[in-house]
Chains A and B, each alone.
Chain A
Amino acid sequence: MSRESRPEGGLLDAGLEGLSHNFLTGTLEELVKWARSHSVMPATFGLACCAIEMMAAGGPHYDLSRYGMETFRASPRQADLMIVAGRVSQKMAPVLRQIYDQMMEPKWVISMGVCASSGGMFNNYAIVQGVDQIVPVDVYAPGCPPSPETLMHAILTLHQQIRDGELTRRPGHGAGIVIEQVGAPGSTPVALGRN
Chain B
Amino acid sequence: MTDEAAQDGAGAEGSAATPAPEELFGAPLTRSGGQLVLHPSREQYPLLLRTLHEAGYLSIIDLTGVDYLTHPGRSGLPASVAPERFEVVVNLINHRERARLRLRLQIPADDARLASAIDLYPGTEAMERETFDMFGIEFDGHPDLTRILMPEDWPGHPLRKDYDPGRIPVQFKGAPANR
Contacts and interface: CB of A to CB of B under 8 A. Distances in A.
B60 to A, nearest CB: 26
Interface stretch (A12-20, A26-34, A141-149, A173-181): A173-181
A178 B174 contact: yes
A76 B164 CA distance: 36
A179 B171 CA distance: 6
Interface in B137-173: 149-151, 154-156, 158, 163-173
A179 B178 contact: no
Interface stretch (A38-46, A67-75, A77-85, A120-128): A120-128
B176 interface: yes
Nearest to A176: B176
Given A136-B178, A136-B179, A125 B151 contact: no
A60 interface: no
B171 A125 contact: no
Contacts of B167: 119, 123-125, 127, 129
Nearest to B153: A187
B175 interface: yes
Contacts of B149: 91
Contact of B170 (A126, A128, A185): A128
A184 interface: yes
Contacts of A129: 167, 170
A123 B170 CA distance: 13
A24 B32 CA distance: 79
Contacts of B165: 124-125
Chain B facing A: main interface SS: loop
Interface size class of A (residues with CB under 8 A): 20 to 34
Interface in B56-81: none
Contacts of A128: 170
B166 A133 contact: no
A184 B179 contact: no
Contacts of A178: 172-175
Contacts of B151: 90-91
Contacts of B163: 125
Contacts of B158: 125-126
Contact of A181 (B156, B168, B178, B179): B168
11 contacts: A91-B149, A123-B166, A126-B158, A127-B167, A128-B170, A136-B178, A175-B175, A178-B172, A181-B170, A184-B155, A185-B155
Interface of B: 149-151, 154-156, 158, 163-176, 178-179
5 closest residue pairs by CB, A with B? A178-B173, A91-B151, A177-B175, A182-B169, A176-B176
Given A124-B166, A125-B163, 5 more contacts: A176-B175, A176-B176, A177-B175, A181-B170, A186-B155
